Amino acid sequence: MKIVIQRVSKASVTVEGEKVASIGSGLLILLGIVAEDTQEDINWLTNKIANIRIFEDENGIMNKSLLQIDGEAIVVSQFTLQASTKKGNRPSYIKAARPEVAIPMYNAFNTTLESVLKKPIQTGKFGADMKVELLNDGPVTIIIDSKNKE
């Protein structure tokens, strides 16, 4: 499981002209799932997301977590995060989990993140052509892979 988290002042997701998600200060989370992902990956990533200290404290130092600022979150499924670009110029998405695996994992991820944050989160629409709009704050953008826990 791979995520890209972006610290945002605001973010939204639009599907077919309808805004389906919108947040203020918090995190936009792009989520890529592979078939080998498990609940252990979800637990590790959701705890990392909730507790990673990338929000500024009163001294302007990145020292606060999403939990500490009571921030919001949007999770957007993005199979292209699992792209392989080793050969040629056309990315291969063979590593990305098929919908029959990815959809339950996506739903489990969202449920677990809500539990960890103790509040509802916003989501995109799995498999849809989404328009994601964000105001990256910083900018702060971090990539985390549950298969590479360094």
Which residues have a catalytic role annotated? 78-80
Long-range Cβ contact pairs of 90-95 (< 8 A, separation 24 or more): 95/34
What is the rounded distance in angstroms from the CA atom of residue 26 to the CA atom of residue 31?
16
Angle between helices 99-117 and 39-51 (to 10 degrees): 40
CB 82 within 8 A of CB 41: no
Between vectors from CA 61 to CA 3 and to CA 76, what angle results, nearest 5°? 20
Please give the structure tokens belonging to residue 114.
Answer: 């809500």
β-strand partners of 21: 13
User: How many residues would you count in the chain?
Assistant: 150
Peptide bond into 91 cis (omega under 30): no
